[in-house]
Amino acid sequence: MPARNRRRLFLAALAAPALASGCGFRLRGPQKMAFATVHVGGVSPYSRFTAELRRQIEAAGTTRVVSTPDEAEVRLDVLSNERDREILSIAGDGSVREYQIDRILVYRIRDQAGNELVPPTRLQTRREYDFDDAQIIAKQREEALLFEDMERDLMQQLVRRLAAVRP
C-alpha cells in the first residue's frame, strides 16, 4: 500500500471518533442518579434480583443502596416481580409447539416524605420459543436463559428510569 493511501486511511481512522462524538453518540455506561441514597423494598434483600439491582445502581458511583427506608432519599418499591408462561401454539397431535414467556415488574418510586415521584408502573418483556418434547432438557435450559436475559433487560430499564428521577 502506498504511503499516500496509508496516510489517508490513518486520517479517516482519526476522524471517525470525532464525527461520532460530534453527533451526540455516547456509549451506554453507568447511569448517574440525582440522589445519594436509595432503598429497595418489596423484595427479599437476599434475592439474586436485589443483589444485581444493587450492583447496577452502585456502579455509577454516585448512589448507595441503604438497608432502611428512613436513611434513603428515594424509595424504590417493587410491587410485583412475576414470571408467566403460556402455550402459543399446539401441533396436530396435541403436543405443545411454542411457548410465550413473560417477565413482569411493577414498581413505584417515592421520596423520603412518601410522595410518589413515579406512580405504580409496569415493565414487561416477552419472548417466544419453539418447544420439542424430544429435547426437553435443552428446552428447559433455553427457557431459563431467556428468563435471565429478560430479567437483565428489565433491570436495565428500571435503572435508566431511576436515573431520570429528580427528587
pLDDT for 143: 92
Share of the chain above pLDDT 70, in %: 84
Enumerate domains of the chain plus CATH numbers: 29-163 (3.30.160.150)
Query: pLDDT band at residue 61, thresholds of 50, 70 and 90?
Result: confident
Mean pLDDT across the stretch 66-88? 92
pTM attached to this predicted model: 0.75
pLDDT (0 to 100) of residue 147: 93
**In this structure, are residues 51 and 43 in contact, taking their beta carbons and an 8 Å threshold?**
no
Q: Does residue 42 contact residue 78 with C-beta atoms inside 8 Å?
A: yes
Q: Which residue has the higher pLDDT, 28 or 90?
A: 90
Question: What would you report as the CA-atom Rg of the chain, rounded to the nearest whole angstrom?
Answer: 22
Check whether 128 has a pLDDT greater than 60.
Answer: yes
